[in-house]
Structure 1
Amino acid sequence: MFKLISHIIFCILFFYSCRNIEEKNVISLKDDFNSIIDDNTLIAITQNNSTDYFIYKGEPMGFQYELLKIFSEKLKLKLEVNVENDINKMFSSLNNSECDIIALNLTNTKERKKLINFTVPIIQTRQVLVQRKPDKWQQLSNKAIDKQIIRNVLDLANKTIYVQGGAVYISRLRTLSDEIGDTIYIKEIEDIDTEEIISMVSNGEIDYTVCDENVGLINQTYHQNIDIKTPISFNQNIGWGVRKNSEQLLDTLNKWLVDFKKTKKYKELYNKYFRHVKGVGYSNTNYHSKKTGKVSEYDDLIKIQSKIINWDWKLLASLIYQESKFIPDLKSWTGAFGIMQLIPSTAERYGIDTCSTLEENLEAGTKYIKWIEEQLEDIEDDNQRIKFTLASYNVGLGHVLDARRLAEKNGKNPNQWDDNVDYFLLHKSNPKFYRDSVVKHGYCRGEEPYNYVTSIIERFEHYKNVIKEK
């Protein structure tokens, strides 16, 4: 009898302990998604390459980037993009909660599903062999080319294929080696992405690599001597990756992807990067960061001027993009002109006019920034002072000083931009604020400088992600 009672008690305790664990798991699942909402930030990790994420004419672009941007905007979240070209490190970052989503050409495999959850497929593609066409291939027929390169995977026996470390191509090549009953030598290259390895094939440093067909098609536009017509796999699903405990995020992503893929906007986005000649040609121009390592053709001049104000040159470049998109002869309806878009009164102060050179316009704009910073030297935090300076460059120092006075009067920190002074500048079109006795410069449409600062700082982060110093 005692044993029976003990057994019943044990079962009851076990039942409730299981229920407890289940409830805790449910809470943690909710918290994982809720923390994204609470922080108002979606953190994604991707690769800097010619399709996923890059800078083109000063603006962040890329298939993965634009998808992320549309999704984050739908949820009204700020998007933070991190770059990592090592796939294994991406998985570690995700599972260590350093990011929320892996967004790239991520092949859905059984092994990877043990580590992360995949979204519904975003696209389908297959793996292809990348090899060099024979010498003088332009003079050869397709049939003649086929005879001199690998068209049958059986001919991969005893060949050496170089692939990105941690890439899904490794497991496929091992399987293929078993299937053909012979050895395929696989060499993993760490800290280098697939596109760079494709360049190595094109340049003759190595003979073979493997990539996804859609990536190969893009790269073939600027490495015309490579061949990607030999498939080594069937079509495979490509999706985004999230943590195992991110079920609510996964569910939200899947519902959005299923709906979004039916839209005209998705078709336009896919065609932009993978179908249209102009789209695939992005990477084949002097404006593509992956090809040139530059933001603009004026980077060297910007670097010189940035030293005068002790700014990261990429921050100054981001301001210039916001002002003129690097168009040196741009004129606005307000009379602002040149690459720095100086208004006539400011330009006159620094001795330039519409006939001045690009270098003179850039130098004058930088001197104006330096002057603004000198008026704000009581703000000790460099990062905060930069935001005040950007706002002043856009809307004028007077309105920013008004917003500081309003912040102080209302118990906020006049030396802190974020969630303090920015609020009062944003709302300076409200009579309650612009008619306040501490205000000296009246009405201001504060949304413009508020968005101006946000855009420049966000673009600066993209430039830092993509443009690596040598």
Structure 2
Amino acid sequence: MTTLIYRHFSALSSFYYALIAVVLLVMVPTISLTPPGEHLNQIHDRDFMTVHTRTSPTTYYEGRRGPTGFEYELMRRFADYLGVSLNLDASHHVDSVLPAVRERGDLGAAGLPLAPDTPGIHFTRPIINMQPLLVYRRGIYGIDEPADLIGLEIGTLSASGTSANLRELQADYPALSWKESNELEVAELMAQIEDESLDAAVIYDHQFRLNRLFFPNVERGFFIGEPISMAWAVPSGRGLGFLQAANRFLEDLQGSGMLDRLKSRYFGHDDYLEYVGTRTFLSHLDSRLPRYEGLFKQAARKTGFDWKLLAALGYQESHWDPDAVSPTGVRGLMMLTRPTAKEVGIENRRDPAQSIDGGARYLRSIHDRLPESITGDDRLYMAMASYNVGLGHLYDARKIAEMRGDNPDSWADVREALPLLQQREWHSKTRHGYARGGEPVIYVRNIRRYYEMIEYIERSRRQFFQLEQTTVNDEGLLLFDPVPPLN
């Protein structure tokens, strides 16, 4: 009897549950009955995660040392956390990422502003705060408050989140206007300010700090509104398991302190390419270079370079710090990657002797691989630029120089072409794509300055040594003893 009652109750329960489910689907069509782990299971089954992103210095790009960028570092770690491979689609502007995630993607990671009401999208917990910043062309005076923006040609990126702060500002200043672009990136906005196509732009503070050295005529203004949270996007309607996994990963990263360390690595310092002033350089010249001068001279004898040039390159790379580490894990006095160290037979990148020897031989290998048509100082400067940005991106810049009717064998012309690798109009026509092309230009310029200073100090020492080695003969004439040759 009990069994019959149970079966009857089960049958009625099944009927009512089914009826309730149908009613809920009719009344509330947005409720999903998808198993919570369906999306995550699909990713594990196929063994890779597809991420829609964009190429920018704050997100993802291909550097000489391989893929890099703050969000790339997070994506890579998240893929490892899930135990799957990482498949990137970096063909997007910021406004095309969310549609791609809705239609076919697993994750959107492209400096996205957290927008909880976006249809078809769930956002993760916040990753970092992004502060909108007004930047403007140097020479426009009196840009101190929002009222000063009225009448200016202002640009910003659509779907980046900055337009929301501008709209809030517009409520108090109705005459305020701006243009939004879905085709440009931050570097291109700043380039338009530099060439006077725009008066100002609203970007994020960390983006300005990473790009400011490339655009010396773009001035920092003031903050626009409150910070905006950056988050990742996942498609809704496919279960919450993947979203929960992403949130656990980000929570663990925050709790371990690793997220703060990554933020500090990528955004805490914006002066890697800053030319170090004479006072600081001379201090390092006196306190650090003597420890490594013999190693630079030894490497110079092996490779045929001037030891002072190798020392200048080493200073630009690490300030002669054998324990230096970059955000991407490049380390040592000459900042060698693991693949480069392996290529030149270096086992311990933190050993100054190995690092200097390996860096000098790597520079020589680049120098020798350049086309024979590049000669003299042009060849040397292009080799140094390749040490920074990679040989592939240098060849892309030479191609751009040729397309512009310039001489691809001239450093002066290639130097003009390299920054264009930051603009989609140009890097889309190249083999290796986006690069922070302004960086090698500043890099080479700095090394040349450091070389000139070391050369000047060395020459002064020679002259001083000569005076110290003089004697006066019976006729009152100065006699110079032979000067020991430099090793």
Query: Shorter-chain TM-score: what band?
Result: 0.5 to 0.7
Q: Distance in 2 between the 1:84 and 1:226 partners?
A: 27
Q: What TM-score do you get using the length of structure 1 for normalisation? A: 0.53
Q: Distance in 2 between the 1:125 and 1:323 partners?
A: 33
C-alpha displacement of 1:133: 2.1
Q: Distance in 2 between the 1:23 and 1:166 partners?
A: 25
- Conservation of the 8 A alpha-carbon contact between 1:85 and 1:192: no
Letter in 1 for 2:187: E
- Conservation of the 8 A alpha-carbon contact between 1:133 and 1:225: yes
Partner in structure 1 of residue 130 of structure 2: 125
Q: Distance in 2 between the 1:104 and 1:279 partners?
A: 24
Partner in structure 2 of residue 376 of structure 1: none
The answer to whether residue 20 in structure 2 is matched with residue 15 in structure 1 is yes
The answer to whether residue 168 in structure 2 is matched with residue 161 in structure 1 is no
Partner in structure 2 of residue 106 of structure 1: 112
Partner in structure 2 of residue 34 of structure 1: 41
Q: Distance in 1 between the 2:59 and 2:139 partners?
A: 30
Deviation track 1:21-60 (CA, whole Å, cap 9, x = no partner) reads 9999333543222111111111111121112112232411
Q: CA RMSD in A?
A: 3.8
C-alpha displacement of 1:159: 2.8
The answer to whether residue 232 in structure 2 is matched with residue 225 in structure 1 is no
The answer to whether residue 340 in structure 2 is matched with residue 325 in structure 1 is yes
SS in 1 for 2:96: helix
Q: 2:169 aligns with which of 163, 176, 184?
A: 176
Q: Distance in 2 between the 1:183 and 1:43 partners?
A: 43
Partner in structure 2 of residue 213 of structure 1: 205
C-alpha displacement of 1:63: 0.3
Partner in structure 2 of residue 151 of structure 1: 144
Task: Call closer, same or farther: CA 1:105–1:16 in 2, change over 3 Å.
Answer: closer
Following TM superposition, the consecutive aligned residue runs of length 4 or more in structure 1 with deviations greater than 4 angstroms are 10-13, 18-24, 277-281, 321-324, 356-363, 463-468
C-alpha displacement of 1:152: 0.7
Deviation track 1:147-195 (CA, whole Å, cap 9, x = no partner) reads x141111222233311223332223322321222x22222222322122
Letter in 2 for 1:46: T
Q: What TM-score do you get using the length of structure 2 for normalisation? A: 0.51
Partner in structure 2 of residue 62 of structure 1: 69
SS in 2 for 1:227: strand
Task: Call closer, same or farther: CA 1:36–1:110 in 2, change over 3 Å.
Answer: closer
Task: Call closer, same or farther: CA 1:280–1:115 in 2, change over 3 Å.
Answer: farther
Q: 1:50 aligns with which of 47, 54, 57?
A: 57
SS in 2 for 1:185: coil
The answer to whether residue 177 in structure 2 is matched with residue 185 in structure 1 is yes
Letter in 2 for 1:265: M
Deviation track 1:58-101 (CA, whole Å, cap 9, x = no partner) reads 4111100001111111111101111134223211100002x211
Q: 2:101 aligns with which of 94, 105, 117?
A: 94
The answer to whether residue 80 in structure 2 is matched with residue 73 in structure 1 is yes
Partner in structure 2 of residue 408 of structure 1: none
C-alpha displacement of 1:251: 0.9
C-alpha displacement of 1:322: 9.5
Q: Distance in 2 between the 1:325 and 1:154 partners?
A: 53
Q: Distance in 1 between the 2:248 and 2:339 partners?
A: 39
Q: Distance in 2 between the 1:161 and 1:43 partners?
A: 35
SS in 1 for 2:33: helix
Partner in structure 2 of residue 266 of structure 1: 259
Letter in 2 for 1:177: Q
Structure 1 unmatched runs, 5+: 1-9, 136-147, 282-320, 334-353, 364-462
1:341-360 maps to which residues of 2 (within 5 A)?
none
Partner in structure 1 of residue 407 of structure 2: none
Give identity over the alignment, percent.
19
| The structure with more radius of gyration | 2
Partner in structure 1 of residue 408 of structure 2: none
Paired residues in the alignment total: 286
Partner in structure 1 of residue 284 of structure 2: none
Q: Distance in 2 between the 1:79 and 1:194 partners?
A: 26
Q: Distance in 1 between the 2:195 and 2:369 partners?
A: 41
Q: Distance in 2 between the 1:215 and 1:197 partners?
A: 11
Task: Call closer, same or farther: CA 1:134–1:85 in 2, change over 3 Å.
Answer: farther
- Conservation of the 8 A alpha-carbon contact between 2:97 and 2:110: no
Q: Distance in 1 between the 2:18 and 2:262 partners?
A: 55
Q: Distance in 1 between the 2:44 and 2:433 partners?
A: 24
Q: Distance in 2 between the 1:196 and 1:128 partners?
A: 16
C-alpha displacement of 1:264: 3.5
Partner in structure 1 of residue 8 of structure 2: none
- Conservation of the 8 A alpha-carbon contact between 2:165 and 2:226: no
1:371-450 maps to which residues of 2 (within 5 A)?
none
Q: Distance in 2 between the 1:280 and 1:17 partners?
A: 63
Q: Distance in 2 between the 1:23 and 1:209 partners?
A: 39
Q: Distance in 1 between the 2:234 and 2:122 partners?
A: 5
Letter in 2 for 1:108: L
Q: Distance in 1 between the 2:180 and 2:25 partners?
A: 45
Deviation track 1:407-453 (CA, whole Å, cap 9, x = no partner) reads xxxxxxxxxxxxxxxxxxxxxxxxxxxxxxxxxxxxxxxxxxxxxxx
Task: Call closer, same or farther: CA 1:326–1:131 in 2, change over 3 Å.
Answer: farther
- Conservation of the 8 A alpha-carbon contact between 1:273 and 1:279: no
Q: Distance in 2 between the 1:362 and 1:177 partners?
A: 54
